Amino acid sequence: MNTALLERVHEFQWRRKPTGAMQVPVVIFATESLVREMDDKVLEQASNVAMLPGIVGASFVMPDGHWGYGFPIGGVAAFEPGGVVSAGGVGFDISCGVRCVATGVKSERVRAVQERLADLLFERVPVGVGVEGKIRLDDAEMDAMLRGGASWAVGRRWGRPEDLGRIEEGGRVDGAVPDAVSERAQERQRKLMGTLGSGNHYLEVQRVSHVFDEPAARAFGLEVDDVVISIHCGSRGMGHQIGTDYLREMERSAPQHGIKLPDRELACAPLRSDLGKRYMGAMRAAINCALANRQIIMHLARGIFADVLPDADLKLVYDVSHNTCKEEEHVVGGKKRTLFVHRKGATRAFGPGHRELPREFADAGQPVLIGGSMGTESWVLAGTHEGMDRSFGSACHGAGRKMSRNAAAKLWKGRDVIQTLARQGISIRAVGIRGVAEEAPGAYKDVSVVVDAAHDAGLARKVARLEPMICIKG
């Protein structure tokens, strides 16, 4: 990215002043090296977002920012109730997120059974493009799932009631409208519950290698050498279809709402319009779908660990989504306001004392789960008071790609990647060899650099570093 268009606010924050139709500035949280690594398209997209009606504060880019559809991935923007909602500002994989699960065992126990555990996880957790699970949803169960989220799954004995307290919004979001979800979107999801999918989705068994914040780690239930599971996936075919359906309708209807789109991929609708309300209802249903999906996958993992390590006790640390638009209260200019916060490839990161957090996290802040690329570390951070003020309680969600999947597949061979990681003690199980090449660690930015930037910018603070032991990929 050309930094000549930016002014440096401080070491970890950059700003582009509003020009032309921009209503607010662009603010990028990153080191100079991370900014220079970003494609110029990131600044162009963030500047276009700053032109949308009703945007408040700034168009933000997180340290892992890279080019996306409409919004940059790592983009955050909040809108007043009289503003707009953009399907491109949420993304196609609605509520893709990360669930971190403590296992109650140390790494030595897992090392002794690592290959068998990897085999069983790959065998029993459905993974890959178009893979189907064992659950079948009729119309009544589809409706119940879309309204109930993880609560619905727990009610069907795919989990424990205590799991729900460790999921954002208690495992279900209000305001889901199943009727706003097209027949095609529902049909695509009927056989996909409890499936991991493909691409950058994964299930990893990880070891806590280092703790940076002892009090927060204790609150989260983490100690050095603990083994945890991270599950990264979303709303599968349903979320993609909802995004496709509503982007088309929003683009067609923009002129009648008096909206001039700086980019057709930023198709949007007024929040108070019928279309805006229908999209919010469908999107919330997809959020519940994703929360239910990760709940079921965790249930499957519980059964597998019980078979291999009977003394393991899988307890949820936290589950938080990215790719959402949430109605939230934030302080702007000294006044509390209701805003609709779009996070596209960015995670919620509420600070200590926030009313939506479990009591045990009151002093620590919300767990912020940052996924690494295959074979590299992941992180647990905690939300901060500063982040609430600086980015509407938002942080990065991962490393961020630095090259396309096609470019990665030309540069690496999947079998070589698997063998290299095996020499590092990391067991890879994947459906396709090309998919491994596409997700090679080198195809992503250095996640530790991204996390350091988020920490130093005050968006979230480092709590624990997680090293991979087993990675299940589609």
Q: Token pair of 325, please?
A: 């638009």
Residue carrying structure tokens 């990893």 = 204
Catalytic annotation present for 257: no
> Residue 377 contacts by C-beta under 8 Å, 6 or more apart in sequence?
209, 447, 448, 465, 466, 467, 468
Q: Can you tell me which residue has the tokens 């799954």?
A: 153
Among the listed residues 236, 240, 230, 178, the one whose alpha carbon sits nearest the alpha carbon of residue 205:
230
- Distances, alpha carbon 205 to alpha carbons 118, 143, 175, 257, 441, in Å: 9, 33, 34, 48, 17
Residue linked to tokens 């399907």: 87
Residue 80, CB-side half-sphere exposure with 13 Å CA sphere: 10
Angstrom distance (rounded) from CA 87 to CA 84: 10
Distance CA 342, CA 190 (A): 27
Q: Among candidates 375, 326, 317, which has minimal Cα distance to 346?
A: 326
> Is the Cβ–Cβ distance between 144 and 152 less than 8 Å?
yes
Q: What separation, in Å, do the N-terminal and C-terminal C-alpha atoms of the chain show?
A: 32
Q: 471: number of CA atoms within 13 Å, CB side?
A: 33
Query: If you search the block for the tokens 């519950």, which residue do you land on?
Result: 193
Q: Of the listed 201, 322, 354, 397, which one is catalytic?
A: 397
Q: Any idea which residues carry the catalytic annotation? A: 397
